[in-house]
Amino acid sequence: PLILLPLISSAFTPVEAMPGWFRPIAEYQPFTPAIETLRGLLLGTEIGHNGWLALAWSVALTGLGYYWSTSMFKRDPK
């Protein structure tokens, strides 16, 4: 599933150009804020709140990965 996330983000098409039903899906997933932040930094344009959203997604996904991996490591092998 992580391979498909960049395809449904703003990496190839701006969110404003997407159909109305698809726009919330593309807006509220982890890759869109990261891509918009990188795009803004590389082009020298305003990044707005996307930097904080990208940081929040990174921290949340890191915490989730840590919790999942420690729970799997502590599990009894059968």
∠ CA 64-57-50, nearest 5°, is 180
Contact present, 24 and 32 (Cβ < 8 Å): no
**pLDDT at residue 2 is higher than 80:** no
**pLDDT at residue 78 is higher than 80:** no
- The count of structural domains within the chain is 1
**pLDDT at residue 76 is higher than 80:** no
pLDDT tens-digit map of 6-59 = 888 888 888 888 888 988 888 888 889 999 999 999 999 999 999 999 999 999
Domain residues for the domain of 65 are: 5-74
Task: Please tell me the distance from the alpha carbon of residue 71 to that of residue 50, in angstroms, as a whole number.
Answer: 31
On whether the pTM is more than 0.85, the answer is no
Closest alpha carbon to 9 in 27, 47, 24, 1: 27
pLDDT tens-digit map of 65-74 = 999 999 999 8
